[in-house]
Structure 1
Amino acid sequence: MSDQMYLVGGAVRDALLGLPVQDRDWVVVGATPKSLIDKGFQPVGKDFPVFLHPVTHEEVALARTERKTGSGYHGFQFHTDPDVTLEQDLARRDLTINAMAQAEDGSLIDPYGGQRDLAARVLRHVSPAFAEDPVRILRLARFAARFGDFSVAPETMTLMRQMVDAGEADALVAERVWQEISRGLMERHPARMVEILRDCGALARIAPELARLFGVPQPEAHHPEIDTGIHLLLVLEECARIDAPLPVRYASLCHDLGKGTTPEAEWPRHLKHETRGVALAAALSQRWRVPSDCKELAELVAREHTHVHQSLDFSAEARLRLIERCDALRRPGRFAQLLLACECDARGRAGLQDRLYPQRAALLHDLKAVQSVDQSAVSAAALAAGKQGPAIGQAIHAARLAALRACETDRPR
């Protein structure tokens, strides 16, 4: 039996959709590790045989089957053999739209109806083996975020709910959760990911802080959509609309977590939700092992977003305290991301997506004024005047405040 190589997975799917093909993965049928090595392929796989093509350096995997041997996504045993067919290899894949292959002559191999589901805009599992890997729940939700007009097949949603009920979602490890969530947040419709995870019950297992936002009311005067969970979805869509970076999108995901812990007797007001939200954002970040830039911004946005919203009415002294509290002089880039997240929060409301948000420009103007103060010169003058310790800090603060007041008339409104 001669070796036959096939382009598989996402490259085939995206080509059929008319989308740019980013990465190309290949499967070879009828080969052994030795036969590929003899042809110059370089082995790189740890869990199962994967090789780099000697010319293109693209990944080539031996056709394989897999068998569930334990809980979670680690509990698999892979089997490769020259007798494993392409159809058997494709059968182990998650979704029909990812279970197509293209032969070297360009012909399409589609044993599970992937082309049909592409046309119908449906995300459908290939086989009951989908239930053996809980990461596939996250992957499907991520694909829903990428392909926002795709629906989930009813039988696939039923299967995912059964997986969650069986405790499979509890076996997910932090690294894989964050890997899929972060990629989903960066897709064109991140709100769809949250919706799918909520619909199947997985959101309540991996992020109860987020799940309990749905059904929690807010004052209609500020939030025409009322429901805090719906507001969250609108904020995420605004993040995608302006192509915000990952830290801003993650911070937006976490910005209102404190509202989920407001006692019902206090609804729809949410006094001190900011303080509660900081602790909840920190807990979620720790559970998912979120990178420090995302973690720190999430806590900052949770704590300060209402202050930023109100800042047009702040005195110069209050605005300076906000700038200093946010460590904006030392970390201006993070301060800019805070303001961007706050703008997404303000626009992520029913019918208000095009509202003006002058607070961002105004506070960036304020920061520039404060940055214009020559701290070294102020310190030197204070020392020359016989001041020491806290008095020098007070002199710098006074100089920054004077700079803010001096440009008050130029401040955007």
Structure 2
Amino acid sequence: MKVLLIGSGGREHALAYALAASPVLTRLYAAPGNPGIAEAADCVALDVADHRTVIGFCQTTGIDFVVVGPEAPLVAGLVDDLEAAGIAAFGPSAAAARLEGSKGFTKDLCARHDIPTAAYGRFDNRDAALAFVREKGAPIVVKADGLAAGKGVTVAMTLDEAIAAVEDCFAGAFGAAGAEVVVEEFLEGEEASFFALSDGVHALALTSAQDHKRVFDGDLGPNTGGMGAYSPASVMTPAITEQVMAEIIRPTVAALAAEGSPFKGVLFAGLMITATGPKLIEYNVRFGDPETQVLMMRLKSDLLLLLKAARDGVLDRVDCRWRDEVALTVVMAAKGYPGAVEKGTEIRGLDRAAALPGTKVFHAGTKQDGDRLVAAGGCVLAVTATGATVAEAQAHAYAAVDAIDWPGGFCRRDIGWRAVERERQG
């Protein structure tokens, strides 16, 4: 099977790593890819926003299946256009991708179908949003409605923070994504990421992870796209996992089908595990980043066959198996992230890191400059390792981090800290 993978980040490198292991794969292409993905795929310089160009490449190259990694092409309807041209593709339609493209759409869907989530208000008017915030008080959560590259959410612990977040959205800080704002109640609990495949009718549970959004140790500083993750998330017990499937995932699949937008793809549920049970924070309609890096290190099943089953409507005929090991990834970011960063700083020592047992370094924001590998973004590397416990996986990952010579980068040194504490307490 000839496969085209759309995307260029750490998530896509992890997907390429898993897809390349499939015995049914004959050739893997990536558009546009990155230097790490180039180890497993032929990278092609396609403008993925130009759907006609992507379709033309698929037709001339004989692509059998397209896997769309990032959210923006999904929301823009790339899968719809590929399927209309007779090219099989993994990912939801534009209508179903509204689950991520509009937080308000998801909140309203949850309200209509009794899916547990935080109480909320939805506003396209600045003054109305501010009045709601002042009425509810802090802590409170303010979200830009649309796609904002993971940066449109403010967990405001004070009223002044909440007011500033609303003002920022309506002042254009997130462009069109902030033209509408969702304001939610603050949920107490522990966050987890949960993944399931859907073929429009059936839902297949995958596994869980726990991301670390804040930029500094101890969960301090501004939110980021993710500074590290581990899998499985220890807070996701078998009982809670089944509760999430029964109360959140399956009702969402049924709701979208009933409303005429069946969901085919991966549902990435951001959850808060509260004292009264799991609640949905938000949906993403693609694999997470950096969660995919730890998921793909643990996956035993053939990823390509799983994704094809979701697209073909036969998820009820497959199962998914996972390695027992824990996987943990540490994101190495360019100094200054999540603000302005310096690009072009040289990275050395990846061979030393990759030579360590059970370790894989995924490229998220790199480029080749002659014979030099340099930073080309905010999140640059995802240094990933496995172990029998979270503490062991953590130790292996940081040993690999320490083998990398990159003065222009930094990382958190406490990824997995909650789970490590649980292990110490027995």
Q: Same fold (TM over 0.5)?
A: no
Higher relative contact order (CA 8 A, sep 6+): 2
- Calculate the TM-score normalised by the size of structure 1: 0.23
- The structure with the greater share of residues assigned to strand is 2
- Calculate the TM-score normalised by the size of structure 2: 0.23
- The structure with the greater share of residues assigned to helix is 1
